[in-house]
Structure 1
Amino acid sequence: MERPREKGMHIAKNLKVLEWLKSEILDQVAGLYRYMMHGKYERAIDCLASLTVAVYVMARRIGFSFRDLESAVLKKLRENVRDGHQMEEWYGDLSALDEYLNKR
Protein backbone atom coordinates (compact mmCIF):
# COMPACT_ATOMS: atom_id res chain seq x y z
CA MET A 1 0.00 0.00 0.00
CA GLU A 2 1.24 3.46 -0.90
CA ARG A 3 1.95 5.93 1.82
CA PRO A 4 0.15 9.31 1.57
CA ARG A 5 3.34 11.18 0.70
CA GLU A 6 4.15 8.76 -2.16
CA LYS A 7 0.61 9.06 -3.48
CA GLY A 8 0.90 12.85 -3.39
CA MET A 9 4.16 12.67 -5.34
CA HIS A 10 2.46 10.55 -8.02
CA ILE A 11 -0.38 13.07 -8.32
CA ALA A 12 2.07 15.98 -8.56
CA LYS A 13 4.13 14.12 -11.15
CA ASN A 14 1.02 13.34 -13.20
CA LEU A 15 -0.08 16.99 -13.08
CA LYS A 16 3.39 18.09 -14.20
CA VAL A 17 3.27 15.61 -17.10
CA LEU A 18 -0.18 16.89 -18.13
CA GLU A 19 1.11 20.48 -18.16
CA TRP A 20 4.09 19.37 -20.24
CA LEU A 21 1.78 17.58 -22.70
CA LYS A 22 -0.44 20.66 -23.07
CA SER A 23 2.66 22.74 -23.79
CA GLU A 24 3.91 20.12 -26.27
CA ILE A 25 0.58 20.17 -28.12
CA LEU A 26 0.63 23.96 -28.41
CA ASP A 27 4.27 23.92 -29.52
CA GLN A 28 3.58 21.33 -32.22
CA VAL A 29 0.56 23.27 -33.54
CA ALA A 30 2.69 26.44 -33.71
CA GLY A 31 5.48 24.52 -35.46
CA LEU A 32 3.01 23.04 -37.92
CA TYR A 33 1.75 26.50 -38.92
CA ARG A 34 5.27 27.89 -39.13
CA TYR A 35 6.60 25.04 -41.28
CA MET A 36 3.59 25.04 -43.58
CA MET A 37 3.96 28.79 -44.09
CA HIS A 38 7.58 28.28 -45.17
CA GLY A 39 6.90 25.19 -47.29
CA LYS A 40 8.84 22.84 -45.00
CA TYR A 41 6.46 19.92 -45.37
CA GLU A 42 8.82 17.27 -44.00
CA ARG A 43 8.97 19.19 -40.73
CA ALA A 44 5.21 19.80 -40.85
CA ILE A 45 4.49 16.06 -41.02
CA ASP A 46 6.85 15.58 -38.07
CA CYS A 47 4.80 18.11 -36.09
CA LEU A 48 1.59 16.28 -37.01
CA ALA A 49 3.11 12.99 -35.86
CA SER A 50 4.30 14.52 -32.58
CA LEU A 51 0.89 16.11 -32.07
CA THR A 52 -0.84 12.77 -32.58
CA VAL A 53 1.49 11.03 -30.11
CA ALA A 54 0.99 13.77 -27.50
CA VAL A 55 -2.81 13.52 -27.80
CA TYR A 56 -2.74 9.75 -27.35
CA VAL A 57 -0.43 10.00 -24.34
CA MET A 58 -2.53 12.79 -22.81
CA ALA A 59 -5.65 10.66 -23.17
CA ARG A 60 -3.90 7.85 -21.33
CA ARG A 61 -2.62 10.15 -18.57
CA ILE A 62 -6.15 11.39 -17.87
CA GLY A 63 -7.53 7.88 -17.67
CA PHE A 64 -8.61 6.84 -21.15
CA SER A 65 -7.19 3.87 -22.99
CA PHE A 66 -5.82 4.20 -26.50
CA ARG A 67 -8.79 2.11 -27.60
CA ASP A 68 -11.19 4.57 -25.88
CA LEU A 69 -9.67 7.46 -27.82
CA GLU A 70 -9.73 5.60 -31.12
CA SER A 71 -13.36 4.59 -30.58
CA ALA A 72 -14.27 8.20 -29.84
CA VAL A 73 -12.47 9.34 -33.01
CA LEU A 74 -14.34 6.78 -35.12
CA LYS A 75 -17.64 7.81 -33.53
CA LYS A 76 -16.88 11.49 -34.22
CA LEU A 77 -16.00 10.72 -37.84
CA ARG A 78 -19.27 8.87 -38.38
CA GLU A 79 -21.30 11.63 -36.71
CA ASN A 80 -19.68 14.27 -38.89
CA VAL A 81 -20.25 12.22 -42.05
CA ARG A 82 -23.88 11.65 -41.08
CA ASP A 83 -24.42 15.34 -40.25
CA GLY A 84 -22.90 16.54 -43.53
CA HIS A 85 -19.75 18.19 -42.17
CA GLN A 86 -18.34 20.61 -44.73
CA MET A 87 -14.99 18.75 -45.02
CA GLU A 88 -16.94 15.63 -45.90
CA GLU A 89 -19.20 17.43 -48.34
CA TRP A 90 -16.34 19.14 -50.15
CA TYR A 91 -13.63 16.49 -50.08
CA GLY A 92 -14.86 13.23 -48.53
CA ASP A 93 -11.95 13.37 -46.07
CA LEU A 94 -13.89 12.13 -43.07
CA SER A 95 -15.28 9.00 -44.70
CA ALA A 96 -11.84 8.35 -46.24
CA LEU A 97 -10.26 8.52 -42.78
CA ASP A 98 -12.99 6.31 -41.30
CA GLU A 99 -12.38 3.75 -44.04
CA TYR A 100 -8.62 3.89 -43.54
CA LEU A 101 -8.84 3.43 -39.78
CA ASN A 102 -11.22 0.51 -40.13
CA LYS A 103 -8.98 -1.31 -42.62
CA ARG A 104 -6.05 -1.46 -40.19
Structure 2
Amino acid sequence: MERELDVATRAKLIEWLKTELLDQVSRLFKAMWDGSALRISDSLAGLIASGYILGRRLGVPYRELDHAIAEKLAKLKQEGHQLEDQYMDLSALEDHIRKR
Protein backbone atom coordinates (compact mmCIF):
# COMPACT_ATOMS: atom_id res chain seq x y z
CA MET A 1 0.00 0.00 0.00
CA GLU A 2 2.81 2.40 0.90
CA ARG A 3 4.56 1.69 -2.42
CA GLU A 4 1.34 2.48 -4.31
CA LEU A 5 1.05 5.84 -2.52
CA ASP A 6 4.68 6.63 -3.38
CA VAL A 7 4.06 5.85 -7.06
CA ALA A 8 0.88 7.94 -7.05
CA THR A 9 2.66 10.84 -5.34
CA ARG A 10 5.52 10.69 -7.87
CA ALA A 11 3.08 10.59 -10.78
CA LYS A 12 1.19 13.58 -9.39
CA LEU A 13 4.44 15.52 -8.93
CA ILE A 14 5.52 14.77 -12.50
CA GLU A 15 2.15 15.96 -13.82
CA TRP A 16 2.51 19.17 -11.77
CA LEU A 17 6.01 19.74 -13.15
CA LYS A 18 4.68 19.33 -16.68
CA THR A 19 2.15 22.08 -16.01
CA GLU A 20 4.97 24.24 -14.59
CA LEU A 21 6.84 23.88 -17.87
CA LEU A 22 3.78 24.98 -19.82
CA ASP A 23 3.21 27.88 -17.43
CA GLN A 24 6.80 29.07 -17.88
CA VAL A 25 6.47 28.87 -21.68
CA SER A 26 3.28 30.92 -21.46
CA ARG A 27 4.99 33.49 -19.21
CA LEU A 28 7.93 33.64 -21.62
CA PHE A 29 5.67 34.33 -24.60
CA LYS A 30 3.84 37.07 -22.69
CA ALA A 31 7.14 38.63 -21.58
CA MET A 32 8.39 38.56 -25.16
CA TRP A 33 5.17 40.22 -26.30
CA ASP A 34 5.61 42.95 -23.67
CA GLY A 35 9.32 43.28 -24.40
CA SER A 36 10.28 42.96 -20.73
CA ALA A 37 13.89 41.77 -20.50
CA LEU A 38 13.53 41.10 -16.77
CA ARG A 39 10.42 38.95 -17.23
CA ILE A 40 12.00 37.15 -20.20
CA SER A 41 15.03 36.27 -18.09
CA ASP A 42 12.84 35.16 -15.18
CA SER A 43 10.66 32.99 -17.42
CA LEU A 44 13.65 31.37 -19.12
CA ALA A 45 15.22 30.66 -15.72
CA GLY A 46 11.97 29.06 -14.53
CA LEU A 47 11.67 27.03 -17.70
CA ILE A 48 15.22 25.71 -17.47
CA ALA A 49 14.93 24.98 -13.72
CA SER A 50 11.62 23.17 -14.22
CA GLY A 51 13.15 21.10 -17.01
CA TYR A 52 16.07 20.07 -14.84
CA ILE A 53 13.82 19.18 -11.91
CA LEU A 54 11.46 17.21 -14.14
CA GLY A 55 14.47 15.34 -15.50
CA ARG A 56 15.59 14.52 -11.98
CA ARG A 57 12.12 13.27 -11.03
CA LEU A 58 12.24 11.06 -14.14
CA GLY A 59 15.56 9.60 -13.02
CA VAL A 60 18.00 11.76 -14.99
CA PRO A 61 20.68 13.26 -12.71
CA TYR A 62 21.62 16.89 -13.33
CA ARG A 63 25.15 15.99 -14.42
CA GLU A 64 23.80 13.43 -16.90
CA LEU A 65 21.41 16.02 -18.30
CA ASP A 66 24.30 18.48 -18.72
CA HIS A 67 26.21 15.76 -20.58
CA ALA A 68 23.20 15.00 -22.79
CA ILE A 69 22.84 18.70 -23.63
CA ALA A 70 26.53 18.93 -24.57
CA GLU A 71 26.18 15.83 -26.77
CA LYS A 72 23.07 17.26 -28.41
CA LEU A 73 24.86 20.53 -29.16
CA ALA A 74 27.82 18.67 -30.67
CA LYS A 75 25.49 16.60 -32.85
CA LEU A 76 23.58 19.66 -34.05
CA LYS A 77 26.85 21.42 -34.88
CA GLN A 78 28.03 18.39 -36.84
CA GLU A 79 24.77 18.36 -38.79
CA GLY A 80 25.30 21.99 -39.79
CA HIS A 81 22.51 23.57 -37.76
CA GLN A 82 21.58 27.06 -38.94
CA LEU A 83 22.14 28.63 -35.49
CA GLU A 84 25.70 27.37 -35.57
CA ASP A 85 26.45 28.21 -39.17
CA GLN A 86 25.17 31.77 -38.95
CA TYR A 87 25.63 32.78 -35.31
CA MET A 88 27.88 30.22 -33.56
CA ASP A 89 25.20 29.95 -30.82
CA LEU A 90 25.70 26.22 -30.32
CA SER A 91 29.46 26.59 -29.83
CA ALA A 92 28.93 29.41 -27.37
CA LEU A 93 26.47 27.35 -25.32
CA GLU A 94 28.66 24.27 -25.50
CA ASP A 95 31.60 26.32 -24.25
CA HIS A 96 29.50 27.75 -21.42
CA ILE A 97 28.37 24.31 -20.28
CA ARG A 98 31.89 22.91 -20.47
CA LYS A 99 33.26 25.72 -18.26
CA ARG A 100 30.70 25.24 -15.47
Seq. identity, %: 41
- Shift of residue 32, structure 1, vs aligned partner: 0.3
Q: Which has the higher contact order (CA 8 A, sep 6+)?
A: 2
Per-residue displacement from partner, 1:8-53 (whole Å, max 9, x unpaired)? 1110010011110110000100110111111111011101101111
In the alignment, what sits opposite 1:62?
A: 58
- Shift of residue 70, structure 1, vs aligned partner: 0.7
In the alignment, what sits opposite 1:79?
A: 75
In the alignment, what sits opposite 1:8?
A: 4
TM-score by length of 2: 0.96
Between the two proteins, the alignment pairs up a number of residues equal to 100
TM-score by length of 1: 0.93
1: CA distance, partners of 2:13 / 2:40 = 24
In the alignment, what sits opposite 1:40?
A: 36
Gaps of 5+ in 1: none
Equivalent residue letter for 1:88:
E
Gaps of 5+ in 2: none
- Shift of residue 64, structure 1, vs aligned partner: 1.0
